[in-house]
A and B are shown apart, each in its own frame.
Chain A
Amino acid sequence: MTTLQVNGRTHSVDADPGTPILWALRDTLGLTGTKFGCGAALCGACTVLMDGQPIRSCVTPISAAEGKRITTIEATADGSDPVGSAVHAAWVKHDVAQCGYCQSGQIMSATAFLKSLPRGAQPTVADIDAAMAGNLCRCGTYARIRAAVADAARALA
């Protein structure tokens, strides 16, 4: 049994300790908002926060999460987190999503990035590109992601 703290709730997960967090979320806890894209930390679709830091849940075993706080898209965009709410609002305002599949990971990376900035700081395009470089999108929403992250930063200032 591995104890996982996800979105403020504690779960006992009966799975091999090497099981990636992604599959514990999706297949054991039913939290399917976190997406499977590559299984090799190459695309960022599975991004969640562990103690506030963005991680690739497809390659991070549940054994590494014991005693740590996991935050997923379900808690980031439910209105309880001001930064997540600002990112969600900016994503909707800019109609960022096309197919939408990569967007959970994009939003988690953007949220972690904005939380890492000093209060009121406004990122440059280069800052945003660097922070979001690990998240692939095949539909071509990158330009809107740039605009939405900048917009969310302004809203949080």
Chain B
Amino acid sequence: MLPEAFSVELPRALQHLIERDAPAPATLMSRRSFLKLAGAGGLALGVFPLNAIAQDGAAKPAALKPTQQPSAFLHIAPDGVVTVAVNRLEFGQGILTALPMILAEELDADWSKVRSRHGSNDPAYADPLFGVHLTGGSNSIKNSFTQYRELGARARQMLLSAAAARWNVDAATLQTRSGQVVAADGRTLGYGELAEAAMAVPVPDKVALKDAKDFRLIGQPTSRLDARAKSSGRQDFGLDVRLPGQLTALVAHPPVFGARLRSVDDGAARAIKGVKTVLRVPVDRGGEGVAVLADGYWAAKLGRDALRLDWDTTAVDKVDSARQLAQYRQLAGEPGARHFDADMAPLAKAPRHIDAEFVFPYLAHTPMEPLNCTVRMAAGGAELWVGSQLPGLDGAAAARVLGLKPEQVKVHVQMAGGGFGRRGVPSSDYVVEACEVAKAARAAGLDAPVQLVWSREDDVRGGYYRPMHLHRARIGFDSKGKVLAWDHVIVGQSITAGTLFEGSMIKNGVDTTAVEGMRDPYALPMRLTVHHPKLNVPVLWWRSVGSTHTAFVMETLIDDIARNTRQDPVAYRLQLFGDRAPRHRAALQLAVDKSGYGKRALAAGRAWGVAVHESFESVVAYVVEASIRNGQPVLHRATAGVHCNLAVNPRTIEAQVEGGALMGLSMCLPGAAITLKDGEVEQRNFDGFALPRIGDMPEVAVHIVPSADPPTGMGEPGLPPLAPAFANALARLTGKPLREMPFKLA
């Protein structure tokens, strides 16, 4: 997932682009791109052929960008089935349903005939605001809401024009209803019957959009379009791609990031039945690896197991978690970059103090579908099949490796079995690796598509973790809980340093992804100092990014102050919000009201916990019930109050909050830490890096604050406040705040 600043700051700077009368941006990539090269022009079946270049011959306003062309997003078959192309990766968040709902709303489509599919790295499927292909930062609905409405409205207008011509009447006398054009005299024509003629109609530039009160689909709890396929084994994922002659590749990765090989003995590996070849390949961070290509996974695995490799780790830094924590503690006492500033003079004189240190470990994403990428090279180009959050960037990286132009690489975006940020890597690590293997195989005379598969061990040990962080706070406040000065330090690796996101994300030496979620909306006199040490451990955004740690720190410390001054944690927060944070107030109040907090007696041994946090422009509050059983923390129930403005598909929002709650819980429970010893990651699989199981899942009730404002995203915001709400409940049971994750109660 992309960090918040990417979603907050850029959209504001680019707001004018979503004004409907705004001119198109001056710099557009050619939309005649690879689709022609790849020979994809022949898929026209109905009118709207779901083809980014299909309408190049038709009249259309020059002002429209590729992202605004209905032909790239819509296919209407003669039988009336409407297929909508989605410009985002579906990896569980329900975007393959929600964006079609938005388009179908303005199209007046028959929802029972709507299907959806992924786009590609064609320019048409770039984010309409950012101009890059992107699924992250909970941006999909927020940035494509108006885009998909306009696409539907344009297509509807074209269908109306076609019907008007067919009947020789004024289009203004016609209406649309559930996949049909209806004439004043009651005659009807189905969209499927009109599709071909509509395709010849000029694409309208300006279109009127529905009034929100007329929405029939938007706002209705709607079942996922992929629910049946995903409940029957029929849904294919990237790992299920099967091309003729395809070989499976497993790569032996260095034990320490960036290490190289001293020697390779592959004799036994080559003797394994099914192994085709063994190749030395460059891997991420300047390292080397050994790829085993075979018929199928098992032969490749046996081959990899049989390699005798001598690694040279002398030239790379070997991180050790214990040493690293000591280093971070030392750094925390030194001067660093300043993010917020405030007068710290009142700190010494304050009548009450809290001194706190928090430690957060590295975390792996471990999506259930192991990372994979399939590459097929052909004359004049290459094709990739990959469940990518950044298919444009991954395609460009593939082109660099393969010596091609970006437009010569087609990325077929595949359904992904989770991702949580791991499929959106600025370095394109595993995509580059797949291309290096394919290139080396071709150089060795093997002309076959290659499917690179990372085993679970490769995934757990392969880096790109949520960074380890140390927070320190010294807070001075009075007996009423008024904060007089808050001196705060954060130590952690920068996620974006050295990536193409650095320019927009790092301000005055501070990576905004490390500090998002600090201070606001509480009006606190906070001084925030930040250190970004450089270490030989690749780091990455992990669902909700900086808020994975900042929400915990802020919401447990606010609770500490309330507890210290004997105030109700809800009342204290509401008082701090004042009039400044109406969405926080509404979300928290809703969660409080629905949970029965303060009104209902809890079962013996249970305590309430509260937290509220804004991330990616949406606010989620939790009121939870927790207890301690056999020395282990147990989360029984979580009631969520959600403010995401207009709720496009409330059913998906509920699911995203359930998922965010579980992933938030996953940070708290034993086994949720990646640690390193002598440069090597100590965990291997789900035994060492443990995830919650069904018995850990609390009851989750989700309540949404009604709103008609433009929607904000919900892929991530359900996560951050869960862990602090849980910790706050446990602190009420033990009297001691929790400041280390995963939780240690002893």
- Which residues of chain B are within 8 angstroms of A40 by Cβ–Cβ distance? 456, 685-687
- Which residues of chain A are within 8 angstroms of B295 by Cβ–Cβ distance? 27
The reply on A42 being an interface residue by CB < 8 A is yes
Cβ–Cβ contact B691 & A99, under 8 A = no
Once A23-B298, A39-B455, A72-B233 are accepted as A-B contacts, the answer to whether A139 and B659 lie under 8 Å apart by CB is yes
- Looking at B59-67, B579-587, B589-597, B694-702, the stretch in contact with chain A turns out to be B694-702
- Per DSSP, are chain B's interface residues mostly helix, strand or loop, or mixed? loop
Cβ–Cβ contact B695 & A133, under 8 A = yes
One digit per residue, 1 when the CB lies within 8 angstroms of any chain B CB and 0 when it does not, for chain A 29-61 equals 010111111111011010000000000000000
- Which residues of chain A are within 8 angstroms of B686 by Cβ–Cβ distance? 38, 40, 42-43, 136
- Complexed CA–CA distance, A104 and B697 (Å): 20
Interface size class of B (residues with CB under 8 A): 35 or more
Q: How far is the CB of B534 from chain A (nearest CB, A)?
A: 30
- Which residues of chain B are within 8 angstroms of A133 by Cβ–Cβ distance? 693-695
Once A36-B239, A42-B686 are accepted as A-B contacts, the answer to whether A97 and B369 lie under 8 Å apart by CB is no
- Complexed CA–CA distance, A20 and B455 (Å): 15
Among A33, A128, A143, the residue within 8 A (CB) of B233 is A33
Q: How far is the CB of B194 from chain A (nearest CB, A)?
A: 32
Among B93, B232, B273, B698, the residue within 8 A (CB) of A88 is B232
The reply on A98 being an interface residue by CB < 8 A is yes
> Which residue of chain A has the shortest Cβ distance to B686 in the bound complex?
A42
Once A143-B658, A146-B694 are accepted as A-B contacts, the answer to whether A26 and B233 lie under 8 Å apart by CB is no
Among B92, B228, B273, the residue within 8 A (CB) of A98 is B92
> Which residue of chain A has the shortest Cβ distance to B230 in the bound complex?
A100
- Complexed CA–CA distance, A33 and B234 (Å): 6
Cβ–Cβ contact B368 & A45, under 8 A = yes
- What total of chain A residues lie within 8 Å of the partner, measured CB to CB? 58
> Which residue of chain B has the shortest Cβ distance to A100 in the bound complex?
B230
Interface residues of B in 393-452 (CB under 8 A from A): 415-420
Looking at A34, A35, A130, A142, which has the most chain B CB atoms within 10 Å of its CB? A142
Among A38, A100, A107, the residue within 8 A (CB) of B235 is A100
Q: How far is the CB of A146 from chain B (nearest CB, A)?
A: 7
- Complexed CA–CA distance, A107 and B456 (Å): 22
- Which residues of chain B are within 8 angstroms of A32 by Cβ–Cβ distance? 236, 239-240, 242
- Per DSSP, are chain A's interface residues mostly helix, strand or loop, or mixed? loop
The reply on B46 being an interface residue by CB < 8 A is no
Cβ–Cβ contact B297 & A42, under 8 A = no
The reply on A122 being an interface residue by CB < 8 A is no
The reply on A66 being an interface residue by CB < 8 A is no
Q: How far is the CB of B687 from chain A (nearest CB, A)?
A: 6
Cβ–Cβ contact B417 & A92, under 8 A = no
The reply on B679 being an interface residue by CB < 8 A is no
- Which residues of chain B are within 8 angstroms of A37 by Cβ–Cβ distance? 368-370, 456
Cβ–Cβ contact A35 & B94, under 8 A = no
- Complexed CA–CA distance, A28 and B242 (Å): 11
> Which residue of chain B has the shortest Cβ distance to A135 in the bound complex?
B694
- Complexed CA–CA distance, A34 and B232 (Å): 10
Once A40-B685, A88-B231, A129-B694 are accepted as A-B contacts, the answer to whether A138 and B367 lie under 8 Å apart by CB is yes
One digit per residue, 1 when the CB lies within 8 angstroms of any chain A CB and 0 when it does not, for chain B 362-374 equals 0000111110000
- Complexed CA–CA distance, A27 and B248 (Å): 10
Among B301, B369, B696, B699, the residue within 8 A (CB) of A101 is B369
- Which residues of chain A are within 8 angstroms of B455 by Cβ–Cβ distance? 39
Once A15-B298, A20-B298, A140-B658 are accepted as A-B contacts, the answer to whether A99 and B242 lie under 8 Å apart by CB is no
The reply on A115 being an interface residue by CB < 8 A is no
The reply on A145 being an interface residue by CB < 8 A is yes
Cβ–Cβ contact B233 & A98, under 8 A = no
Chain B interface (Cβ < 8 Å from any Cβ of A)? 91-94, 223-224, 226-237, 239-240, 242, 248, 273, 295-298, 301-302, 366-370, 415-420, 453, 455-457, 651, 655, 658-663, 685-687, 691-700
A-B complex: 3 closest residue pairs judged by Cβ atoms: A33-B233, A101-B417, A100-B230
